[in-house]
Amino acid sequence: MEKIEGTAQVAIVMGSKSDFPNIASLFKILKKFNVEFLAKVCSAHRTPDEAVAFAKNAKEDGVKVIICVAGMAAHLAGVIAANTTLPVIGLPMACKPFNGIDALLSTVQMPPGIPVASVTVGSAGAKNAALYAIGILALSDDKLAMKLHEFRIEQTLQVHNTNKELQDELKSCF
């Protein structure tokens, strides 16, 4: 069984290197929170043995949560989840011709007994996958929980600021 090269609490597995440019917001959030991660290309279809071996060893290798990134007939999250009891987050990618609805349904439609927490397609999903993984780690990490709390406050303030801008614009327009 293949062992993970290097280890980290968050593992990101992508079905293809072609997914990488579309998940920048995932890496941005993990870096913002100083969460260490490992990332690798491993396909449920093209390298099925490696995908299973990765999932079977992940817990022992110190991984706490796995984010699976895949497009088209996206079975990666399901195959990984079938081979570990670690929490698995599925991040569907948009590919032609169905623009991600195929990957979303493949990811979210898990049969009962093998859960995958699916986020939405693309960049918004990538950001939420990272935040969800951080939320899981924060259950046993008070410092991370505080950072997540501060992130929410910062986000709320940003919305308040945009609302203020809108009110000013409305005053000057009408």
Question: Binding residues for ligand RP5, per CB under 6 A?
Answer: 15-16, 18-19, 43, 70-72, 93, 95
Q: Measured from the CB of residue 94, what is the shortest distance to ligand RP5 in angstroms? A: 8
Pairing of strands 10-14, 65-71: parallel
Report the nearest approach of ligand RP5 to the CB of residue 74 (Å): 7
State the minimum distance, in angstroms, from the CB of residue 44 to ligand RP5.
Answer: 7
Nearer to ligand RP5 among residue 18 and residue 85 (C-beta)? 18
**Diameter of the chain measured on Cα atoms:** 68
Cβ closest to ligand RP5, residue 73 vs residue 145: 73
Structure tokens at 18: 């072609």
The pair phi, psi for residue 75, each rounded to 5°, is -100, -5
Alpha-carbon distance of 26 to 19, in angstroms, equals 12
CA 7 to chain CA centroid, Å, is 17
- Is residue 57 within 8 A of residue 2, CB to CB? The reply is yes
Query: Looking at beta carbons only, is 70 or 133 nearer to ligand RP5?
Result: 70
Q: How far is the CB of 82 from ligand RP5 (least distance, A)?
A: 17
Identity of the residue numbered 174: F
Burial grade of 42 (CB within 10 A; 0-12, 13-18, 19 or more): buried
Least separation, in Å, of the C-beta of 121 and ligand RP5? 11
Distance CA 93, CA 100 (A): 5
Kindly tell me which of 9 and 71 has the beta carbon lying closer to ligand RP5.
71
Question: 80 or 93, CB closer to ligand RP5?
Answer: 93
